[in-house]
Amino acid sequence: MKAFERIFLYSILAILVFYVFLVDGNVESKVAIQEEIRARSISIVNDTGQRIVELWDYKGGGGITIYNKDGTLVASMRAISSGGGITLLTKAGTIAADIGACKDGGEVVVCNNHGEVIGSLP
């Protein structure tokens, strides 16, 4: 076997080994999709480890909470057997608005910066 043929053959083998062990494995891991993830709660955190979104079990239903960069709760959505609701809070953490549903109907509440109710429907 000539030197050129050996160099060519070894180059091809090196490329195949690189592809099989490094490239192909990474491509498959990016394509893999989980059919189902089961947990009582899931927290999504930012680069510093501070939670920014939580999914959780709530009285037989579920809920989602969203936090700002300071770690203050700013929005919440919940579902229970009798209905659900959405709560919006100020950056200080006081309730600004709440929409809720229950067996008897629904309610909308609006608050001022101090969390005092300034308007509601029924």
Instruction: Pick 59 or 105 by higher pLDDT.
Output: 105
Is the confidence at residue 24, as pLDDT, over 60? no
Is the confidence at residue 6, as pLDDT, over 80? no
Band of residue 43 on the pLDDT scale cut at 50, 70, 90:
very high
pLDDT value of residue 11: 74
What's the rounded Cα separation, in Å, for the pair 27 and 21? 11
63 shares a domain with 28:
no
45 shares a domain with 15:
no
CATH of the domain at 68: 3.90.930.1
Is the confidence at residue 99, as pLDDT, over 80? yes
68 shares a domain with 102:
yes
Whether pTM > 0.85 for this model: the answer is no
Instruction: Pick 74 or 27 by higher pLDDT.
Output: 74
65 shares a domain with 24:
no
When divided into structural domains, the chain yields a total of: 2
pLDDT value of residue 112: 93
Residue 15: give the domain boundaries: 1-33
